[in-house]
Structure 1
Amino acid sequence: MNDSLHNPPLDEHPASNAEKDPENWVSGDDPMTGAQASYLTTLCEQAKIDPPSADLSKAEASIQIDELKQKLGL
């Protein structure tokens, strides 16, 4: 039996759920995770800005992380 018929290579599926807009996340309104808070704090320190409010949602934190990574060239 040829497994490639049932398990095509990943590159044959270019559209990925991992790239969904944070504003469309089902759990986007949940509080940001501890990992997000930690990473956001680290990025803010690198950018020499005050960390944002601790009451961000997952989606808001993700957007801010992406913006800071772009600003820092990461």
Structure 2
Amino acid sequence: MSSQLSNPSQWTTGSEAPTDKQKSFLSTLASSKNADIDPSSLTKSEASQKIDELKHQETVNTDAAAGEPIQDPKGWATGDEPATGKQMGYVAVMAKELGEEVPEKLGKSEASERIGELKGRTGM
């Protein structure tokens, strides 16, 4: 089963149109790699393979800060979902270091933005 998961061409739904999330991520990634790709002309499996290819290419924009999200967190398809445990842990460590209250709940997008802001203030 794991070989099927790692091989998009064998996916049961691989011949379907790419998801909105795939199209959005692929467009953003292609732009950062200076690649001309029309995500809507690909299948799910082709989009996944193209994403993997582009992720392993060197980024054209050398001015981009390391560790910055490829896409603006406000545009994330899952941005309104609760933040991951890892995100909340990172926010908690930096907030405590700054003597600030640790928020109880954040969405994924909010947590990402908060992490970026706290990183700048803590130097982490």
Same fold (TM over 0.5): yes
Task: Please name the residue that 2:95 is paired with.
Answer: 44
Task: Please name the residue that 2:60 is paired with.
Answer: 14
Gaps of 5+ in 1: 1-6
Aligned length: 64
Q: Which has the higher contact order (CA 8 A, sep 6+)?
A: 1
Q: Sequence identity of aligned pairs in percent?
A: 33
Cα distance in 2 for partners of 1:70, 1:22 equals: 17
TM-score normalised to the size of structure 2?
Answer: 0.46
Alignment of 1:35-74 (within 5 A): 35-52=86-103, 54-74=104-124
TM-score normalised to the size of structure 1?
Answer: 0.74
Cα distance in 1 for partners of 2:111, 2:105 equals: 9
Note if 1:26 corresponds to 2:77.
yes
Q: Root-mean-square deviation (CA), in Å?
A: 2.1
Cα distance in 2 for partners of 1:24, 1:72 equals: 26
Gaps of 5+ in 2: 1-52, 62-68
Q: 1:10: Cα distance to partner? A: 1.5
Cα distance in 1 for partners of 2:91, 2:123 equals: 15
Cα distance in 1 for partners of 2:114, 2:60 equals: 25
Q: 1:48: Cα distance to partner? A: 1.3
Task: Please name the residue that 1:3 is paired with.
Answer: none
Moved beyond 4 Å, runs of 4+: none
Structure 2 letter corresponding to 1:24: G
Q: 1:72: Cα distance to partner? A: 1.0
